[in-house]
Chain A
Amino acid sequence: MSSNSPNKEVVDGEVVSSRRARISWAWLFPILALGATGWLFLNNWLSQGPEVTIRFQEAPGIQPGKTDLIYRGVQAGKVMDAHLDRDLGAVVLRVRLKAFARELAREGTDFWIEQPIISLREISGIESIIQGNSIHARIGEGTKVQTEFVGLGAAPLVPLDAPSLVVKLRAAAVPFLGRSTPVFHRGVRVGWVRDKQLDESGDAVAEVVIEEKYTGVLHANSRFWVLPATSLSAGPGSVSLSIPGVEALLYGAVAFDHFGSPTGSVENGQEFALSPDEASARATGAQFQIVFDDAAGLRAGMTRICFRGKPVGVVDSIAVPPVGESVVVTARLEAPFASIATDGSTFTIVRPSITPEGITGLETVVTGAYIDFEPGPAGSVGTKFLGKSVRPLDWNLAEELPGAVRYRLVANSVPALQAGAPVFFRGLQAGHVVSKQPGDEEGAELWISIRKEFQKFVRSDSRFWHVPAASVQAGPGVLDFRFEGIASLWQGGIGFESFGNSTEPVASGEVFALHASRKLAAAVSPAVKISFLDGQGFLAGQTELRYLGLPAGVVEAVRTFPDRVEVTARFYEGFDFLRRDGSEFAVVRPQISIQSVSGLETLVSGVFIVCVPGKGEGYASEFQAIDTSMPELLDQTGFEILLLASSTAIDAGAPVLYNDTQVGEVVEKTLTQDGAQILLRAKIREEFRHLVRESSVFWDATAIDAKVGFFKVQINAPSVVAPAGRVEFFTPEMDSPGVGAGSRFSLLQQRPKSFRRR
């Protein structure tokens, strides 16, 4: 403007402004604004893909203009409009796809409304709790463009790519299975159940999806089975509770495995059978039939067939024909065992059995009955077998070791001994009873089996006896209660031992006598017969013969005659001298009297017979028992003297004193042959024998030695306790000649005056 003024002054004419024609720089701004706006709208238009319409049964939470279409977590479109179709049967959504999601508009694409699912089996769509429901898409396989879709009712289990392997499981019932039930292969989750439904035949069919990376583990020979939610299994030695996993805890699971080598490949849609449990799945062998009399305890699908204790098969079904008296069990075995189920195989139902003879099948109390399978001889595989319901009592026979040798035992009776009862040798189990049967003659016969390592102890002079379940043994000062282990507690057993020195081995099948007790078995001497006037308390096989207080033999038999009792006894090894001529026997019974208490141990052990060896050279076989009030004194050893008295109160058991020291004992009180005098038999201990000499004087010292003195009454009573009286003697001349055994002395009524007490 300032430059115009001078020009006006100089040149007054028309001024043509050269700048008028020029466009101002300012117009760049509108162009830029237009450009930016145009670019924006163009960009917006370019990012828009095709519009698709999706029909849903219902569209909860869908808001036009807001709800997004999500594909792989990315917003791939937006719901532009939602309206019901003409007959109000469906919701029609118009979704504007983004340009990059153009490919979604093609055949096979699945659309579904994602909403939160929270159940015990699955939790999905959590994000829609916060963000509201959205439409999700899974691209299809097709190639043709499509803009009209029908949406899915629920989210598919595989949100993205379609699964590569789907197989069908067919079973009579699939109670546990449901959507998303896991499928395990050897403990690894490899898939899930997609769907379950009933097919045309009424069977339940579950569709199982195997994840793509695990499709290789499914083979044509794979077997599927239901893993229960929890299972409790009991076997010998353990009870185990198994839970496949937390996710399977509530609804169980499906497992599969190809037992053995895998064969064949699996196509999509292939059908498999679904077994109710693993054992059933394992039993791949051909079905066969077993006919039983009785099927108590058997359960279809549950009962196992065991081979040597290991389950190798399962019972499929149990059919009871309306006619006939049998039950037909259809079963299968595992493949390796199916080939040994040849004709002649035995099938035995094992049930629990508890008897005093033994306990068998105890595990079946928990596991239920099972069928024991014993393969038959080689041959063709059988299809129908005759089963046994009762198992023979041979439960110990299976334990018979190689090299065991059998012997035969003969006895009058074998109380409570059954097959399986143990045979002991010095407390060790050397074998067992194999069988029991009636003998050739009267009596019974037992077969026993002795293990190899104990065979050398069975000799020609071995003696066998019955070991009672429990025994009480009482002797002088001994009370012994014993039983031979828990196995014998039920039924006892058999013991054996060699009492002689024979080393002669014995061949298998040798016959031995079975003695009723060890005492009888040990009494090996020839029998002697002893007559008693009174047989009270005698017990064959129990009553003992004792020498010096220790067992020397046993009464084998007791026979009663009109006037006496005859006892047949045998002596243990080494006690043969008791059979010599002149041996004396007397019975000891408990005695409680004012004079004495004796034979107290016989209260427990019963009466016993005390023996005194005779002096004779030869052996006798028959003896007469002597009757004495103090029979236990009979076998007192020592130097014997006889005392004669016209009358005396001294009885057997009275001590013989020398200088107030007991040196012997009166053992017997009898009469002389003519009955005129009393004869006391006394025994002086050997070490005091020299005190008895020809000059010895014996007197009755029972009377209390009382002396009335000037100031005092002196009672000389060394021992008040002498109920049987006392005998004293004194030898004034120690150099007088000695006397032999059996010498007679006369018993003075009182101490001679000449022997003053010092």
Chain B
Amino acid sequence: MTDAARISWTKALVVSGLVMYIPANLLPVMTITITGDIEALTVLGGVQELLHSGLPLVAGIVFLASFVIPFLKLAVMCWLLMLHGSTRLCAERAAALRILHQIGTWSMIDIFLLSVLAAVGQLGMLASVRPEPGVLFFAGVLLFTLFAADMYKPQMIWRPVVA
């Protein structure tokens, strides 16, 4: 695959991720039912809920991991694509890509946790956790970012663009 094709793929995947990022945050990702109290939570709603429950640290972590970092990843990918072919900040870009790869290893942890929660948290009438359509979009965002980061190779930063 040529560099140009890779760039094209990366761009498409990043755009897809950005598109998916909107419903992923607008739609509820899960429904928690506790003693009849049905609560459909979006990602930010969940953060708010945690904050109200007096868990600011956990809320902060969830906020970073589920909201900020996916967005940052997409933003970094956009930055990389924008500076593609330029000779500026090559070292920084390579470092950023390396960090993206490393973070990417953990990116599906939210989805993993939710699936565990949905499987374990079935207490009949008293409590239940059910995934909502938003989580599909959320997983989509993560997957697209993951593949986009993988598609954009570090050497492409340094290689001059064949015009």
Scan residues 21-39 of chain B and give those whose CB is less than 8 A from a CB of chain A: 22-23, 27, 35-39
A27 & B12 in contact (Cβ 8 Å cutoff):
yes
What's the tally of chain A residues with a CB closer than 8 Å to chain B? 19
Render B129-159 as a binary contact track against A, CB cut-off 8 A, 1 for contact.
0000100010010001000000000000000
Scan residues 21-54 of chain A and give those whose CB is less than 8 A from a CB of chain B: 24, 26-30, 32-34, 36-37, 40-41
B125 & A130 in contact (Cβ 8 Å cutoff):
yes
Counting chain A CB atoms within 10 Å of each CB, the highest count among B16, B35, B144 belongs to B16
Render B37-65 as a binary contact track against A, CB cut-off 8 A, 1 for contact.
11100000000000000000000000000
Give chain A's interface secondary structure class: helix
Partner of A37 from the list B4, B11, B23 (CB cut-off 8 Å) is B23
CB distance from A13 to the nearest CB of B (A): 15
Scan residues 126-159 of chain A and give those whose CB is less than 8 A from a CB of chain B: 130-132
A1 within 8 A of B: yes
What's the tally of chain B residues with a CB closer than 8 Å to chain A? 26
Partner of B13 from the list A1, A29, A40 (CB cut-off 8 Å) is A29
Partner of B16 from the list A30, A130, A131, A132 (CB cut-off 8 Å) is A30
Q: Given the complex, which residues of A lie within 8 Å of B20, measured CB to CB?
A: 33, 36-37
Q: Given the complex, which residues of B lie within 8 Å of A131, measured CB to CB?
A: 36-38
Known: A37-B19, A131-B36. Is A29-B12 also a contact (CB below 8 A)? yes
A26 & B19 in contact (Cβ 8 Å cutoff):
no
Q: Given the complex, which residues of A lie within 8 Å of B113, measured CB to CB?
A: none
Render B68-99 as a binary contact track against A, CB cut-off 8 A, 1 for contact.
00000000000000000000000000000000
A26 & B8 in contact (Cβ 8 Å cutoff):
yes
A186 within 8 A of B: no
B36 & A40 in contact (Cβ 8 Å cutoff):
no
B15 within 8 A of A: yes
Q: Which residue of B lies closest to A44 (CB)?
A: B27
Q: Given the complex, which residues of A lie within 8 Å of B16, measured CB to CB?
A: 29-30, 32-33
Q: Given the complex, which residues of B lie within 8 Å of A28, measured CB to CB?
A: 12
B137 & A37 in contact (Cβ 8 Å cutoff):
yes
Q: Given the complex, which residues of A lie within 8 Å of B140, measured CB to CB?
A: 33
A1 & B23 in contact (Cβ 8 Å cutoff):
no
A132 & B37 in contact (Cβ 8 Å cutoff):
yes
Please give 17 more A-B residue pairs, beta carbons under 8 A apart, in addition to A33-B16, A130-B35: A24-B9, A26-B11, A26-B13, A27-B12, A27-B15, A29-B12, A30-B19, A33-B144, A37-B19, A37-B20, A37-B23, A40-B27, A40-B133, A41-B23, A66-B37, A66-B39, A132-B36
- Interface residues, chain A, CB within 8 Å of chain B? 1, 20, 24, 26-30, 32-34, 36-37, 40-41, 66, 130-132
28 A–B contacts from the bound complex (CB under 8 Å)? A1-B2, A24-B8, A24-B12, A26-B11, A26-B12, A27-B15, A29-B12, A29-B13, A29-B15, A29-B144, A30-B12, A30-B16, A30-B19, A33-B17, A33-B19, A33-B140, A34-B19, A36-B20, A36-B23, A37-B20, A37-B22, A37-B23, A37-B137, A66-B37, A66-B38, A66-B39, A130-B35, A130-B36
- Interface residues, chain B, CB within 8 Å of chain A? 2, 4-5, 8-9, 11-13, 15-17, 19-20, 22-23, 27, 35-39, 125, 133, 137, 140, 144
Pairs A-B, 8 closest by C-beta atoms: A26-B12, A24-B8, A130-B36, A26-B9, A131-B36, A30-B15, A33-B16, A33-B19
